[in-house]
């Protein structure tokens, strides 16, 4: 990681040095042209009084050559600027990719914690409904504690640009969902996600982990999923 950063920094320094060198050459060339233009003007004034025509022609040729040098230097400068912009874009893309790889590596250890909290809540909530009066309060307190821990964890992820993917009731999207199986449902249309085993997560619109889901099969008879565009129109 450090080596890659040092190489990027070295590349940026080389481009900056090249641009500085090119700018200095351009300034020197422009100054030469300006000086020679002044000489030509003086010689033009003297030409009518017997000035050296050969020397005047030579100076004019030199001015023409310097103008060509200025044009070439400008082109070189523009290319150096374009190279620098491309370098900046490439470096940003590499840094984003590295951040994504690092996040994936860290989250591979942390996300199972959230998965287990979700599973614990799935078991605990039905248990609370069937608990005796003397135990119901304890179960509700346990559920509330689990929800608080889950919310705090998800909040920490959100502050770092990591968001859970909403899946249940949405149309199956192979770019976001990993289908474990299909199952016919009377409440969902074919191709709609009906259950989620593991939540998927995105980081700044880039997929970190697909959601592992069950999808309504071809024999399902429910209403079609309402897409985001229809929801936006109703809003």
pLDDT for res 193: 92
Q: What is the rounded CA–CA span in Å between residue 174 and residue 213?
A: 11
Asked if pLDDT for residue 102 goes beyond 90, the answer is no
pLDDT for res 64: 81
73-96 residue pLDDT tens:
888 888 888 888 999 999 988 988
Length of the chain: 235
Asked if pLDDT for residue 232 goes beyond 80, the answer is no
- Confirm if 185 and 214 have CB atoms less than 8 A apart: no
Instruction: Give the chain's radius of gyration (CA, Å).
Output: 35
Angle at 105 between CA 104 and CA 108, to 5 degrees: 80
Buried b (16+ CB within 10 A) or exposed e, 204-232: eeeebbbbbbbbbeeebeeeebeeeeeee
CATH of domain 164-224: 2.30.22.10
Domain boundaries, the chain: 2-99, 108-162, 164-224
* Better-scored residue on pLDDT, 177 or 61: 177
**Secondary structure of residue 176 in the 3-state scheme:** coil
Residue among 196, 193, 198 nearest 215 (CA): 193
Which residues are 196's β-sheet partners? Answer: 213
Asked if pLDDT for residue 212 goes beyond 90, the answer is yes
Q: Please state which of the ranges 52-61, 141-150, 196-205, 214-223 shows the lowest mean pLDDT.
A: 52-61
- Mean predicted confidence (pLDDT) in 156-171: 88
- Mean predicted confidence (pLDDT) in 116-145: 79
């Amino acid at each position: 990681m450090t080596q890659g950063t040092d190489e990027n920094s070295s590349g940026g320094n080389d481009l900056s040095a090249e641009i500085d060198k090119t700018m200095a050459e351009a300034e020197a060339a422009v100054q030469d042209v300006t000086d020679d233009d002044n000489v030509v003007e003086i010689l033009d004034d003297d030409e009518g009084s017997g000035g050296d025509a050969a020397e005047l022609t030579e100076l004019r040729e030199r001015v023409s050559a310097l103008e060509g040098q200025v044009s070439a230097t400008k082109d070189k400068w523009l290319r150096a600027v374009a190279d620098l912009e491309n370098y900046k874009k490439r470096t940003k893309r590499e840094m984003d990719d590295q951040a994504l790889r690092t996040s994936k590596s860290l989250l591979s250890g942390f996300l199972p914690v959230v998965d287990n909290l979700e599973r614990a809540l799935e078991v605990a909530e039905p248990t609370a409904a069937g608990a005796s009066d003397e135990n119901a309060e304890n179960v509700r307190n346990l559920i509330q504690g689990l929800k608080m821990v889950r919310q705090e964890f998800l909040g920490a992820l959100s502050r770092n640009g990591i968001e859970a993917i909403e899946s249940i009731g949405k149309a199956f999207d192979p770019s976001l969902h990993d289908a474990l199986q299909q199952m016919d449902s009377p409440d969902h249309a074919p191709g709609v996600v009906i259950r989620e085993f593991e939540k998927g997560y995105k980081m700044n619109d880039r997929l970190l982990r697909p959601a592992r889901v069950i999808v309504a099969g071809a024999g399902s008879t429910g209403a079609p999923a309402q897409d985001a565009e229809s929801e936006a129109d109703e809003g």
